[in-house]
Amino acid sequence: MIQRLRQPGAIRIEFQPIVRVHEGRHELYAVEALTRGPRGTSMERPDVLFDYARRKGQESAIDLISIATAFAEAPSLTCAPLLSINIHGTTLTSIDRFTEWLLTSAASHGIAADRLMLEIIEHRAPWVIETFRATLDELRDAGVRIAVDDLGVGASNYQMIVDCRPDHLKVDRHIVFGCSRDPWRRAVLESIVTLARSCDATPVAEGIEDVDDLAVLLGLGINTVQGWLYAPSMPAPELAASPMFQAMKGRNP
Amino acid sequence: MTKRLLIVDNEDTILFALQRYFTRVGFHVDCAKELEEAEALAAYTKYDLVIVDLSLTDTGSTEGLEILRHLRSTRSGARVILLTAYGSKAVEREAYRRGADAFLHKPRPLAEIARVAEKLTGAFA
């Protein structure tokens, strides 16, 4: 299977809009590139795909293929202010001259560094902290935004925030979904808003599926959101042609 | 509710035959051809039944026992049928010791595997 995943076209990328709600208007803030395995295989699901890649020691290889594929397909979505891509913390420390590779690859598709947001995901710590921080500093200096992904679950914890010093906190769906009906979720979200303010970071809520949850988030001060309420992930051409995207692309923040 | 089945075998023909049969009788079937693929699938899906070949690489290898160990260590409630063309009595004893629900020697008619699956899960047939 691992050989199959490394073949051209096996890894697919879908994109999902990230929306900012501003004075009642919905503006396109970014598009996130999401990795999918080959259709019709057990690897179609990203959680299974990356779990498998991790067990085979190929997590970073899949990360790089995913990013290269995202860059190749993103030009049809140029109207999105930011292109958000996912990467494992271990990839940042295990790939030699990662920053140079990333920026060169992006530039070759006409994507400027200041349009990039890197979402750091991790399933196992510790990484080599000095290399990790040095790489993040290089990326920040180049204008790349840094986000901690899946905040609130797994290894996306306070250690990740301290080590990454992110400008975006992406709150996991597990915390967001159902927050209108669950005081415990609201309490966690409130603490994240306070944390984000203290760190001068933007909180982004993932997994918005209904308007009641959205209302709670807006009330708490989280106005950057993503989820099925707006659009599921889809291939770049489909997203570019979707009525929602067409309507929103003229309203960038 | 549809029962979920994971079939693990490195031989395409066996995988195909089992997948087709169990899909037809109403299972939702996932397939894996190697140890890591099976473990990754089991990490994110609650299976009712796992049918796994004892050897997924060379003759004499015992990846099936490793998958069984993984399932039991993660407290998966899946019933497990081990299939083998080469297993000895010692391996069979080890499989049961690790929590296998059935240990079947290949070749075996599909209908017989299905009967064991039905007995273990209470599904179909």
pLDDT digit string (tens) for B41-99?
A: 999 999 999 999 999 987 778 899 999 999 998 888 899 999 998 778 888 999 999 99
CATH classification of the domain holding A125: 3.20.20.450
Please state the rounded mean pLDDT for residues A104-123.
Answer: 93
Tokens found for residue A131:
């290399």
Estimate to the nearest angstrom the gap between the alpha carbon of A80 and the chain centroid.
14
pLDDT at A233 over 50: yes
Q: How close is the nearest chain B Cα to the Cα of A40, in Å? A: 10
Please state the rounded mean pLDDT for residues A75-95.
Answer: 89
The number of folded domains in chain A is 1
pLDDT band (50, 70, 90) for residue A250: low
Q: Where are the beta strands (DSSP E) in B40-111?
A: 49-53, 79-84, 102-105
- What is the pLDDT, as a whole number, of residue A157? 80
pLDDT band (50, 70, 90) for residue A249: low
For residue B9, the SS3 value is coil
Going from N- to C-terminal start, the domains of chain B cover: 16-121
Tokens found for residue B25:
């009788």
A56 touches chain B (CB under 8 A): yes
Are A48 and B31 in contact (CB < 8 Å)? no
Find the closest chain A residue to B10 by CA distance: A1
Please state the rounded mean pLDDT for residues A80-101.
Answer: 92
Please report, for chain A, how many H helices and E strands are present, in that order.
12, 8
pLDDT band (50, 70, 90) for residue A114: very high
Across B40-60, b (16+ Cβ under 10 Å) vs e yields bbbeebebbbbbbbbbbeeee
Count other Cβ atoms within 10 Å, centred on residue A132: 20
Q: Which of A42, A49, A51 sits opposite B31 (nearest CB)?
A: A42
CA–CA separation, A32 and A17 (whole Å): 6
Are A51 and B33 in contact (CB < 8 Å)? no
- A252 found inside a domain: no
Find the closest chain A residue to B30 by CA distance: A42
Q: Is the ipTM of this complex over 0.85?
A: no
B36 touches chain A (CB under 8 A): yes
- A131 found inside a domain: yes
pLDDT digits (tens, 9 = 90+) for B41-56: 999 999 999 999 999 9
pLDDT digits (tens, 9 = 90+) for A142-151: 999 999 998 9
Q: Where are the beta strands (DSSP E) in B10-123?
A: 28-32, 49-53, 79-84, 102-105
Q: Which of A1, A42, A52 sits opposite B30 (nearest CB)?
A: A42
Count other Cβ atoms within 10 Å, centred on residue B103: 20
- What is the pLDDT, as a whole number, of residue B109? 86
Among the CATH numbers 3.90.1150.10, 3.30.70.1230, 3.40.50.2300, 3.40.50.880, which is that of B16-121? 3.40.50.2300
A199 touches chain B (CB under 8 A): no
- What is the pLDDT, as a whole number, of residue B32? 95
Q: Which of B31, B33, B39 sits opposite A55 (nearest CB)?
A: B39
- What is the pLDDT, as a whole number, of residue A152? 83
Which residues, listed in sequence order, are joined to residue B4 by a DSSP beta bridge? Answer: B28
Residues of chain B neighbouring A1 (CB-CB closer than 8 A): 33-34, 37
Q: How close is the nearest chain A Cα to the Cα of B41, in Å? A: 6
pLDDT at B125 over 60: no
Q: Which of A45, A47, A52 sits opposite B36 (nearest CB)?
A: A52
Number of CB pairs < 8 Å for A and B? 29
CB-based contacts of A93, cutoff 8 Å, min separation 6: A127, A128, A131, A132, A135
Q: Which domain holds residue A23?
A: 2-247
Are B39 and A45 in contact (CB < 8 Å)? no
B34 touches chain A (CB under 8 A): yes
Are B37 and A1 in contact (CB < 8 Å)? yes
